[in-house]
Every structure is written in structure tokens, then in C-alpha cells.
Amino acid sequence: MKTYPAEPFRIKMVEMPNILTKEERIEAIKTAGYNTFQLKSEDCYIDLLTDSGTNAMSDRQWAGLMMGDEAYAGSRNWAHLEATVKEYYGYKYVVPTHQGRGAENILSQIMCKPGCYVPGNMYFTTTRFHQEANGATFRDVIIDEAHDSEIDLPFKGNVDLKKMQALIDEVGAENIPYLCLAITVNLAGGQPVSMANMRETYALCQKHGIKVFYDCTRCVENAYFIKIREEGYADKTIKEIVLEMFSYSDGATMSGKKDGLVNIGGFLAMNDEDMYIKARELVVVYEGMPSYGGMTGRDMEAFAIGIKEACRFEYIQHRVEQCAYLGDKLEAAGVPIVRPVGGHGVFLDARKFLPHLTQEQLPAQTLAAHLYIESGVRSMERGMVSAGRDKITGENHKPKLETVRLTIPRRVYTYAHMDITADAIINLYKNRDSIRGLKFVYEPPMLRFFNARFDYC
Ligand code: PM9
């Protein structure tokens, strides 16, 4: 029987959420317009909305907060963060941003121009938004298997090199400023990219003069999968693997709120000096001085410490295997999930969970709302609502994967919380036939999933 690693930490401080009755939860989700983003955090017993900014910091990080140098310019905490990114990720230049999308904004403004194409291994909401806002068209070049929840592959986030070559042949390399490679792939279920695929993708892009920028938000989770799944890496440290991964790229955007083990922060990193000068010019317009970029000195100190802690093997092993534990329990009970379980949570296959609903009846949005009613567990829709509309035709994007994401915050929950979550989902699955679908009653024009409101069809 598979065993799972115990928590490699001791709990020093706790948070006491409200435990609502089912009637109270029905009222709460109705008030929230059946959108889990609109629920009050204190009304969510187990909050699996996101792993973004929800990390529990260590005693050393909290101590680091007291060492914040809040000078407007030249903070020593920036020097610490910059040196840490260079040491752990290997890039020559780093520009701080308040979070990941701040880095995406600057990257897209520098690299994209109207009419260009930006390929990626599956879209991500904020990333594609900034590319499109700067005139680019996104093209998905992930392997086909990533769009199928049942296919079990070790590196389901890989780029399909044939798709990439076909795009180059179709639009010309001169119209592809860069490829955005997500490591891991969030919307595919947290699926990793293999080292071999990173190496080959970089070689293909270099041959055609196309840059490669990583979305390295969950890069440590990706490194763990390489260590346990890819030949030749079992004896390497996580830090060595991370450094090798980044050597096959020209730069990266980072949301520190995930694998940076902090509650806020991000950066844009690169090796090209001219690009760095441009990014420094833009960061003062959108984020702040190049020595803080929207973060406080104390945030930067905690971030620098978090980057180092995340590369400790016992931490990342527990983090990823805790996700597997929840997934394995659900799978054993026959609940349809995206296989294999990825690095940051478990994704329910909402179409298979609620087969009586059409995609227009928003099965993932509906399932997320009902899971909250059933259990007080908050999750997130990752299907048609998140995918938004085509920027030219205005039609809904209809992703093959219509999922509900149970995202596990880092160092926050125990295996007992996973048991409760699994039991609630299994119970809901047994009673799924009576669940009615939802429709939009308010649809915002951009990134609609955050603020949309719904009601029953
Ligand atoms: N991800 C998540 O819950 C938070 C916002 S939901 C749209 O998964 C990737 C792969 C992400 C990501 C945020 C960002 C943006 C970029 N890339 O939230 O701006 O998963 O720090 O990062 C969320 P920021």
C-alpha cells in the first residue's frame, strides 16, 4: 500500500474559521451569486479556492518581516531577494513586481505587438489576458493528451514540438516573439513538463530565433516531478533540478504567492540586458521603484526566505504527496478526477460528475457551489466560465476540460482535512442526480470568473 509523508512542520499558530450549518451555507452561496470567489473567507471551513497567496509562512519568514527595510529606494531586502533569485533560478537580471500578473503585464508590453502570436502549453487566464491586451493571439501547443482527463502520463504538460513547428510554418518565426512555457500547467491539473521537453523546446525555439519565457509560478512542484519521474534525476537535489530547468529559457514571470511560499509578491527575470533596461523603465510606471516593485521590504525578505525553503526536499515531497492523497481517495471511490494528480491540487471532472448538465449549464460552476453547500469546502471553477470569450467572435471558449479545482494551500491543512473533503465529495457524488445547472445573471467583460454572478437555470 502507498504511504504518504507526514507533515514536515510543527504548527505554532492557528486560525479558527466559522463552521456554518447547511442552511447558513445555502444562504451564503446565494448571497455570493453562486460564485465561490464571492464567499467570505471566514465562512469557508476548508478553503481550497486557491493555493495563491494562501501559504502558511515559517517562523523564519515571520522573523524576516521584522527585518523589513522600508526605504523608498535601495532596500536591503531587495538585495537579498535579487541575490536569491539569481542563485536559485540562475537569471542575470530581476525586476520585482507586486504579483505574477504585474510581471506578465511588463513582459507582454515589451514582447508583444499587434498581429503577433504567442504559443503556450495551455492558456492561463491572466497570462493570456495580458498577451491579448497587447495585440497578440494565443496558440495552444500543449500535447493533445493534456486535454483529456483520463490519460495518465508522467509529463502531461509537455509542448508538442510538431504543433510548435506547424505554427512556425504557418505564421513565420518573425511573428512569434516568444513561447510561454508554464511549469507546471495550472489548468491542465498542475501537470509537469519534463526536462527533456524543456531542452528540446528551447533548442527548436533558438533555431528559429524565438525566445522562451517560463511561467515559473509552480517551478518547484515541477522539479519534484522530474526528480521522481524522469530518468537521471533521482539523485539530484531540487535546487540543482530547478537551476537546470531555467537554463533552457531566456527569462521567466513568477507569482511568488505559490512556490515563493509567501502571501504576496512576484518578479520578471531575464538574461538580456536590453530587455532588463526596458523592464526597469516600465516597472516604475506600473509597480514602483526597481528596488521594490509593489512589495514592501518585509514582503521581499519573506519571499527570499520562502524561495530557499521551497527547495527543501521534505517540504516539496509532503506538499505534492498530500495532493496525491486526496486524489487517490477520490479515485478509489469512483469520483471522476483529472489523472494523474498534479502538483497543487485535485481537479474534479465536472462533466463526468454531472453528466446530466450541458456545458452551457456550467457544470463546474454548479459543482463548486454545491460542494460548498454540502461541506463548507470552497473550491474554484476552471471550465467554460474561466475560459471567457474569443476576443474576435465573442463566442464562449469551450474548453474540453471542465473542472472544479480543489487547490491545496501550502503548509496549511492536514491529512484529516483531506479526509473530510474527500468524504464530502464522495457523498455529493452519490447524490449528484438532483443538482440543477446555473446560468450567468451578471457577466463582466474581462476575467469574468472573479466577479460574475449566477442563478439556477
Ligand atoms: N493563479 C490561481 O488561483 C490566482 C488567480 S486565479 C486567476 O491559480 C499562473 C500559472 C497562475 C497565476 C495565478 C498567475 C498570476 C500566473 N500564472 O495571481 O497575479 O496560476 O500572482 O499570478 C491563481 P498572480
Q: What is the full DSSP assignment across 353-400?
A: HSTTS-GGG-HHHHHHHHHHHHHSEE-EEESHHHH-B-TTT-PBP--S
What's the mean pLDDT in 444-457?
Answer: 96
Tens digit of pLDDT for each residue in 118-139? 999 999 999 999 999 999 999 9
Can you give the pLDDT at residue 321? 98
Buried b (16+ CB within 10 A) or exposed e, 380-418: bbbbbbbbbeeeeeeeeeebebbbbbbbbbbbbbeeebb
Integer Rg of the chain from CA: 21
Report whether pLDDT(1) > 90: no
Report whether pLDDT(157) > 90: yes
Tens digit of pLDDT for each residue in 388-433? 999 899 999 999 999 999 999 999 999 999 999 999 999 999 999 9
Report whether pLDDT(239) > 90: yes
Can you give the pLDDT at residue 162? 98
State which H helix or E strand residue 107 sits in: helix 100-111
Closest CA to 120 of 3, 37, 111: 111
Hunting for cell 521567466 — which residue is that? Answer: 252
What's the mean pLDDT in 102-118?
Answer: 98
CA of 451 from ligand 1 middle (Å) equals 16
Length of the chain: 457
Q: Which of 123, 124, 155, 353 is catalytic?
A: 124
* Cβ-based burial of 115 (10 A; exposed 0-12, middle 13-18, buried ≥19): exposed
- Amino acid identity, position 455: D
Q: Which of 128, 258, 329, 339 is catalytic?
A: 258
Which residue lies with its CA nearest to atom 20 of ligand 1?
A: 186
- In terms of phi and psi (left: phi > 0; alpha: psi -120 to 50; beta: otherwise), the region of 125 is alpha
C-beta 379 within 6 A of ligand 1: no
What's the mean pLDDT in 140-154?
Answer: 97
Cα 167 from Cα 181, distance rounded (Å): 15
Q: Which of 139, 382, 410, 411 is catalytic?
A: 382
Report whether pLDDT(288) > 90: yes
What's the mean pLDDT in 267-290?
Answer: 98
pTM: 0.96
What's the mean pLDDT in 310-319?
Answer: 98
Tell me whether residue 454 is one of the annotated catalytic residues: no
Report whether pLDDT(206) > 90: yes
What's the mean pLDDT in 75-91?
Answer: 98
Pocket test for ligand 1, best of 124, 129, 213, 450 (most atoms within 8 A of CB): 124
What's the mean pLDDT in 237-260?
Answer: 98
Can you give the pLDDT at residue 293? 97
Hunting for cell 486557491 — which residue is that? Answer: 50
DSSP character for 33? T
Pocket test for ligand 1, best of 127, 186, 410 (most atoms within 8 A of CB): 186
What's the mean pLDDT in 95-117?
Answer: 98
**HSE, side-chain direction, 13 A CA sphere, residue 353:** 34
Tell me whether residue 378 is one of the annotated catalytic residues: no
The Cα-based distances of 388 to 35, 50, 126, 367 in angstroms read 15, 19, 11, 18
Cα 60 from Cα 301, distance rounded (Å): 10
Can you give the pLDDT at residue 391? 87
Q: Is the peptide bond before 184 cis (omega within 30 degrees of 0)?
A: yes
Q: Give the confidence band of 358 by pLDDT, cuts at 50, 70, 90.
A: very high
Angle, CA of 302, 308 and 312, to the nearest 5°: 130
C-beta 50 within 6 A of ligand 1: yes
**HSE, side-chain direction, 13 A CA sphere, residue 250:** 21
Residue pair 202/249 in contact by the 8 Å Cβ criterion: yes
